[in-house]
Structure 1
Amino acid sequence: MRTEIASVDEAAAPPPADWAQTRSRVYAAGLAAALAAVERPLAEADGHTLAEPLTPRTDLPAFPTSSVDGWAVRGAGPWRVTGRVLAGHSAAPLTEDGTTVEIATGAMVPAGASAVLRVEESTRTPAGLIEGVARATPEWRLPGEEASAGEELLPAGTPVDPAVIGLAASCGHDMLRVRRQPRAALLVFGDELLTTGPPGAGRVRDALGPAVPGWLRRYGCQVRPADVVGPVADTLPAHVAALRGALDGADLVCTTGGTMHGPVDHLHPTLAALGADYVVNTVAVRPGFPMLLARLVGTDGRTRFVAGLPGNPQSAIVALVSLVAPLLAGLVGRPLPVLPQATLAEPVAGRGDHTHLALVRLDRVAGTAHPVRHVGSAMLRGLSAADGFAVIRPGSTGAVGDRVPVVPLPLLPGERAS
C-alpha cells in the first residue's frame, strides 16, 4: 500500500486534505513502518497486538474431560467401584463391564467408559454398588471440541486484552509474539502557557501537557513522564533542539501549537530543518484543520513520525482521533478501525466544505447520539461529557434521525465499551 508524501519544502499552505481520505493515508503510512515483532510473557502482553495468528498447541480440550461430578461407568449397572480420578491426574482405563470410577468435573474420562453418571442422579446400594440411569447426552467434552491443534483462533492484528491472554494460556502458550508498543513523546509549544496555578495576566493554563499522554496511553503508547517536555521556548533553535531530542527515543512525537504560519509558529521550519516529509499537511475538518503528520527516517533506517496538534485543546483532540489513532493502528498492524454508527437525536450543523466532528454523548441502549454543549475549539468542558465525535460529511448537515459515523474516544487497553 503506497502512501503519497509531500516534501516540507513545498508550498506552505496546500489545499486541506479530505478527512476520510486522510485516515486511510495516515494508516497506510503507519502500516508501511510497522513496528518489529517481539516475544512477551503472557503477564506482560496486555495492551499489545498479536503479530501472528493465535493457534492452540494441542486440541482443546486435549483429552476427554468430564463436565460433571459423578461416575465414569462401563457397560450396564449396577457398577462396582474400582477407583477415583480427579482433575489433574491421568485415568487408568476401564477394562470390565459393570465397573466404575468416581470422577470430578474437569477430570480425564478413562478409556473404556461408556457414560458419565451424575452424582446427584446416582445411589449407592448397601453392597456398595452404584446404581442410576445415565443421560443420553454424553457428559464430557471431546478432544478438539473447542479447537483443533494449529487452528487459527485469532488473526494477527488482534488487540491483546485479558480475554485473549486467558485464551492463549488455555492454548498452552507461555509467550506471545506481539508488535512492540510504540514509544511516544510530547512537546508543548507556547510561551503564553502556565504549568501551574490559575490563568491570568494574558497567560493560559496548559491543558494538553497533562492530558495528551493519557490519551496516547489509551491508544497503546508508552509515554514516560520524562517524555513530556515544555513549554518549549518560541524560537526556532529551541524547537529544533527539542524535536531532535524527542525523536531519539520515540516512534511518535506529538507537538501542541505552532501548526500555522504565524510569527512564532516554528513547527514547519523545524520539520524542514530536520529533513521531514509531510504525510498530510492540514485537513478539511472542523475543529482542528491546521493539523499535520510528518515523517523522518533516522540514520538507523527507522521511521519516526511527528503529529502536529493544534494549540486549541479540543482541536488537538480532533487531531489525535483523526491522525494519531489511524497511524498507531498501522504501526502495530491492527486493522483501520471501522467507525460505528449512531442515530442523531438532535440536529448538528455542517461546516461547508469541511467535515464536522461534533462532540456527542452516546445512549448505547437506544443507539442514539446526543450533541453536548460547550464545544468551542478552545473548550474542554464538552469533551469531558462526551463519548466521541459524530461525523458530519462535507456539504451536508446532520438532521434528527440521520445515521452517522461516530469516532469513539479511546479506552484503556483491555477496556470495552458497554
Structure 2
Amino acid sequence: MAAQTAWSEAYAIATTTPKPLPSTPVAVEAAAGRVLAAPIEALRPVPAFDTAAMDGYAVAGDGPWTVTGQLLAGAVHSPPLRPGTAVEIATGAVVPEGTAAVLPYEDSLRNGDSVTAHPSAGRRVHIRRAGDDVRPGDVLVAAGRTVNATIAAAAVQAGAEQVAAHRRPTVTLLVTGNEVIDSGVPGPGQVRDSFTGLVSAVAVRAGADPVVRRHVRDVAALLESGLTAARTDVVVVSGSSSAGAADHLHGVLGRMGATWHVRGVACRPGHPQALAELPDGRWVVSLPGNPFAGLVAALTLLEPVLTALGGRPPLPLPEVPVHGSAKLMPTGVRIVPVHRDDRCRRRGGWRIVAETSSAGLQAAARADALAVLPESWADGDPAPILAVP
C-alpha cells in the first residue's frame, strides 16, 4: 500500500477532484436545496405594472379631488383619471392612466366625495413603476447559489418557471460485517449498525438524496456484487477497509479497475479511510469499521465529495483556538471531539471533550465539532474544526 496521504491533502483531494454532476431543468418549486448551474434571469418586470405603494387615493391634477370609485388589488380595468378626480386605491392595485400620485390615507382629509391633501403632506408620489425593482433580462441570482425559499420566491415573482440546477448526488451505503445487525439487542459477538444514521445525516447536510442502505456479509464476491449493483453516484463502504482476513475492499476495487485518489490518511483515528473512482465514474468512499473512525472519514472524505458533486462551492474550514490536552500523532494529525466551553470564552471557547478510542462515540456525542490537531499543536493553538452531524 502506498504511503498515507496527509489529512489536509486528503481533504483537498475530496473537495476539488470530483466535478459537479450535470445540470437539469427543474421547476422552481422543486429546486430547494439544489445548486444553480446557470444564473436565474427575470422574464418579466417587477413590479409587472404601475402599482400603488400605499393605501389611499390615486389622484390626477390639482386638488381638491372628487372621488369617483374604488380600486382593490387584482382589478385589471379602470377608466383613466381626469384632472381633479381620484379613486380610492389599495396597495398593490394597478394605478389608473393619468394618475399623478397616490395620496396616503394618513396624508389626506376626506369630506363626502371630496378629498384634499393634509397641509403637512409631503410630495412623494407613492407609485411603484413597472420594472423599478427588476427588468426582463436582469440576473436575479448567480450560478453556484443554493436555492432556498427566498430565491425560489424571487424567481417566481420575476416569471421564472424553471431553473437549471445540478443534480443531487445519489448514495448507496454498503454496511459490511457478519457481526452487524440492523435492529434488536446484539447477541454475543454482534454489534448494532451505527453507520446508517451518521452517513445519512452527512449526506443530507451535503445536499445528497436519501441514502440507500444494504448489508453485505464478509465475502469478497458479495462485496463485489454489491458494488456492481449500486448504481448511484457514490458508494460508501463501512468496514472492510484494512488488511485483515475479512477486509476485501481493496482487492475487490483492484479487480474492478478502480483509480485510487486517497488510500490511507495520516490521522488517528481514521487512517484506513480511502477514496477511489470506478471506471464508470462512480465514487467509492471507504470508512473504517470502528464507528468514531468512520465518522472522521465521513467528514474528511464523504462530505466534501458530495458537496463537490452537487456543485456547491467548498467552504474553508473554520479555525478556532482549542484548549486541553491530547496525545498527538507524529507525522500526522490527531482528531478529537471538542465543544464550546464558557469557562474559556475569553480564550476562544473550545475545549477537548476527552480522549476517545476509534470505536466509541460517547465523546463525539457530547461534542459540537471535531478538531484536527497537527503534531505541533499546543494548548490554546488554533486548529481546523469539522462540525458533527
Q: What is the TM-score of this pair, normalised by structure 1?
A: 0.83
Give the CA deviation at 1:370: 4.0
Taking only the aligned residue pairs, the percentage that are identical comes to 34
Q: Kindly tell me: are residues 287 and 152 of structure 1, through their superposed partners in 2, closer, same or farther at Cα, counting changes over 3 Å?
A: farther
**Counterparts of 2:133 and 2:335 in 1: how far apart (Å)?**
43
Residue matched to 1:3: none
Residue matched to 2:115: 130
Aligned with 1:399: secondary structure?
coil
Instruction: Specify every segment of 5 or more residues in structure 2 that has no aligned partner in the other structure, as ranges.
Output: none
Does structure 1 conserve the Cα–Cα contact (< 8 Å) formed by 2:259 and 2:277?
Answer: yes
Residue matched to 1:5: none
Count of aligned pairs: 382
CA-to-aligned-CA distance 1:255-309 (integer Å, 9 cap, x gap): 00121112211010010111111111112233212111110122xxxx1010001
Give the CA deviation at 1:362: 4.5
User: Of the candidates 13, 20, 29, which is equivalent to residue 17 of structure 2?
Assistant: 29
Instruction: Specify every segment of 5 or more residues in structure 1 that has no aligned partner in the other structure, as ranges.
Output: 1-11, 411-418
Residue matched to 1:413: none
**Counterparts of 1:316 and 1:118 in 2: how far apart (Å)?**
64
Aligned with 1:220: secondary structure?
coil
The within-5 A match list for 1:42-57 is 42-57=28-43
Q: What is the TM-score of this pair, normalised by structure 2?
A: 0.89
Amino acid of the residue matched to residue 324 of structure 2? P
Matched, 1:325 2:299: no
Residue matched to 2:272: 290
**Counterparts of 1:61 and 1:390 in 2: how far apart (Å)?**
49
User: Of the candidates 100, 106, 130, which is equivalent to residue 120 of structure 1?
Assistant: 106
Matched, 1:218 2:218: no
Q: Kindly tell me: are residues 121 and 188 of structure 1, through their superposed partners in 2, closer, same or farther at Cα, counting changes over 3 Å?
A: same
User: Of the candidates 375, 385, 389, which is equivalent to residue 406 of structure 1?
Assistant: 385
Residue matched to 1:174: 161
Q: Kindly tell me: are residues 221 and 341 of structure 1, through their superposed partners in 2, closer, same or farther at Cα, counting changes over 3 Å?
A: same
Cα-Cα RMSD: 2.5
Does structure 1 conserve the Cα–Cα contact (< 8 Å) formed by 2:140 and 2:154?
Answer: no
Residue matched to 1:356: 334
**Counterparts of 1:104 and 1:289 in 2: how far apart (Å)?**
67
Amino acid of the residue matched to residue 210 of structure 2? V
Give the CA deviation at 1:185: 0.4
The worse-fitting range, judged by mean Cα deviation, of 193-202 and 311-320 is 193-202
Q: Kindly tell me: are residues 383 and 105 of structure 1, through their superposed partners in 2, closer, same or farther at Cα, counting changes over 3 Å?
A: farther
Residue matched to 1:240: 224
Aligned with 1:30: secondary structure?
coil
Does structure 1 conserve the Cα–Cα contact (< 8 Å) formed by 2:203 and 2:306?
Answer: no
Q: Kindly tell me: are residues 373 and 110 of structure 1, through their superposed partners in 2, closer, same or farther at Cα, counting changes over 3 Å?
A: farther
> Which runs of 4 or more aligned residues in structure 1 lie more than 4 Å from their structure 2 counterparts after TM superposition?
91-95
Matched, 1:15 2:3: yes
**Counterparts of 1:217 and 1:278 in 2: how far apart (Å)?**
25
**Counterparts of 2:329 and 2:233 in 1: how far apart (Å)?**
34
The within-5 A match list for 1:17-416 is 17-31=5-19, 34-90=20-76, 92=78, 94-126=80-112, 128-133=113-118, 134-223=121-210, 227-230=212-215, 232-246=216-230, 249-298=231-280, 303-344=281-322, 346-347=323-324, 349=326, 350-362=328-340, 368-373=349-354, 375-392=356-373, 394-397=374-377, 399-400=379-380, 402-409=381-388
Give the CA deviation at 1:94: 4.8
**Counterparts of 2:153 and 2:194 in 1: how far apart (Å)?**
38
